[in-house]
Chains A and B, each alone.
Chain A
Amino acid sequence: MNWKRLEVLLPLVGVVVLLAVWSVVTWLRIVDPVLLPSPAATFKALWTGMFHGKLGVDFVKTVERTIYSTIIAAIVAIPLGILLGSSERLYRSVEFLIDFFRSTPASAMFPLFLVLFGVGDRTKIFVAAFGAALVILFNVAYGVMNARKTRILAAKVMGASRLRVLWDVMLLESMPATFVGLRNGVSLALVIVVVAEMFIGSVDGLGQRVFEAQQMFEMPDMYAAIFAAGALGYGLNLLFLTIERRFVHWSGK
């Protein structure tokens, strides 16, 4: 037997155990089957919901909102982060504000954004963008500030102008941190979007789906929507990791 070959299957062990326990629990009716449907019923709901029902539409809606808010956050936060990071004094002068709003739960901003932007998509996207932007900003700024002094000196001694040092050295130095920021940012954006979909008069989105299924006691649908949201979060993280590995190949080396 070749055990080494089997080791690649290790990550599946947890999944199999979870499914087994879950099956046994529902089969023995340890938990009220209304509250916890069987895995088969749940995955059937997931499948039909995703490919023949409304869940697929909701999924796409949530993806759209999350991606839009992350893009808006990145467009605002990356240049700003580079600007702030390139001058330590500048960063110190706004550090408190960034830390303060970074620590403020974005959900607390919903009412404010509702007043500003109404109950449409814009509010959800902007609140999520607001939360994600602060995370990205913070990481980019620190990435630039922690750029290796030696590399900056090396570029300087070669005659590179300030702008060139910023562009050729600091920007690239900050890339690994920028991607950490983007990954955290997109996760946060997803959290905020899903919460917003639950409570801000929504008609679609995964958050709304979970909430509605719960209200109507359609438990398999609710679990299906939860799994869809989980898969989405995991997928987004994986997507950014893949992009990072490709474009920031030197990260962590």
Chain B
Amino acid sequence: MHPAASMELSANARAAATRTAPHVTIRGLSKRFADATIYDNFDFDIPRGKLMSVFGPNGCGKSTLINMIAGLFPADKGEILFDGQPLNKIKFGYVFQNYREAVFPWLSAFDNIAYPLKVMGVPKKERNLKVEKIVASLNVKIDLNLYPYQMSGGQQQMVSIMRALVVDPEILFLDEPFSALDYEMTLFMREQLQRVFVETHTTTVLVSHDLEEAVYLSDRILLLSRHPARPVEFVHYDAPRPRTDKTMTEGDFISTKAHCLEIFQREVRKG
């Protein structure tokens, strides 16, 4: 056999392997709060370049999970590896449910979006370019000179989503990002999120209270039990993108949703 050919093959194989290797590996994760064990020896892999949703009963630890992954507070035990490495200077995007308390009211919308770049030490000129780029790519029509308190809820959440995306995050976390918005805005924002995902294929973790939304947007749905939370099932949903309203009428969608609901109800009843 020609030596060069085998070299090439192994390079391809390696590339393929890293493409499919999990992005985040969670092993033996434990976390207790004063009155409850939220995680006890929890194992899970977050796939690379997929949009996954986390769905589970109220208070089961969904926010706690993504907060620990994002390094916002430490786990009691266990390890969280990114590409097999411990956390070091990974760029996260994080969108909080409560946009009112997450955006900075003393900064204009523009400066809010640019803030993470400022933290990273990006020079002003480049910051402005990047902000303008992300605004253009999302096709956002908001006056960015306004302050958050002068904007609608949807616009504020849009600002916080752009703020999360402007750094080209390696992983994007969204904790019930749309639950404080009205229905029309929610539908619009779902489409924006889907567009961003189709364009960038950023590994995305979405916590959602809305099963329809979770299935509609996701490649994978992680169903959690009551705490101490364990992964009950990791449901695959591979409908092609872009998905539309029609997607939600298809048999595959309906059966996936029904399956998730059934598991969820079984878990809740166990409670």
Contacts and interface: CB of A to CB of B under 8 A. Distances in A.
Interface of A: 148-151, 153-160, 164, 168-169, 172, 175, 248-250, 253
A157 to B, nearest CB: 4
Given A153-B72, A253-B149, A159 B101 contact: no
A157 B149 contact: no
B119 A172 contact: no
Sorted nearest first, the 5 A-B pairs with minimum C-beta distance are: A250-B105, A253-B149, A158-B116, A150-B101, A157-B94
Contact of B96 (A153, A164, A250): A153
A164 B115 CA distance: 12
Nearest to A249: B147
A103 B59 CA distance: 43
B149 A250 contact: yes
Main secondary structure of the interface of B (DSSP, over half): loop
B98 A157 contact: no
B202 to A, nearest CB: 15
A158 B119 contact: yes
A154 B102 contact: yes
B119 A160 contact: yes
A150 B98 contact: yes
A151 B149 contact: no
B116 A172 contact: no
A253 B105 contact: yes
Contacts of A157: 70-72, 92, 94
A164 B92 contact: no
B106 interface: yes
B120 interface: yes
B269 interface: no
A169 B92 contact: no
B2 interface: no
A154 B148 CA distance: 15
Contact of A169 (B89, B104, B148): B104
A253 B72 CA distance: 27
B101 A151 contact: yes
Contacts of B101: 148-151
Nearest to A150: B101
A197 to B, nearest CB: 39
A2 B34 CA distance: 64
B119 A250 contact: no
Contact of B106 (A156, A158, A175): A175
Interface in B81-108: 89, 91-92, 94, 96, 98, 101-106
7 contacts: A149-B101, A154-B103, A159-B89, A159-B119, A169-B104, A172-B106, A253-B105
Nearest to B118: A168
B104 A151 contact: yes
Nearest to A154: B102
A148 B148 CA distance: 15
Nearest to B89: A159
Given A157-B71, A169-B104, A250-B147, A150 B96 contact: yes
Given A157-B72, A172-B106, 16 more contacts: A150-B96, A151-B101, A151-B104, A153-B72, A153-B96, A154-B103, A158-B92, A158-B94, A158-B115, A158-B119, A158-B167, A159-B91, A159-B120, A164-B119, A250-B105, A253-B105
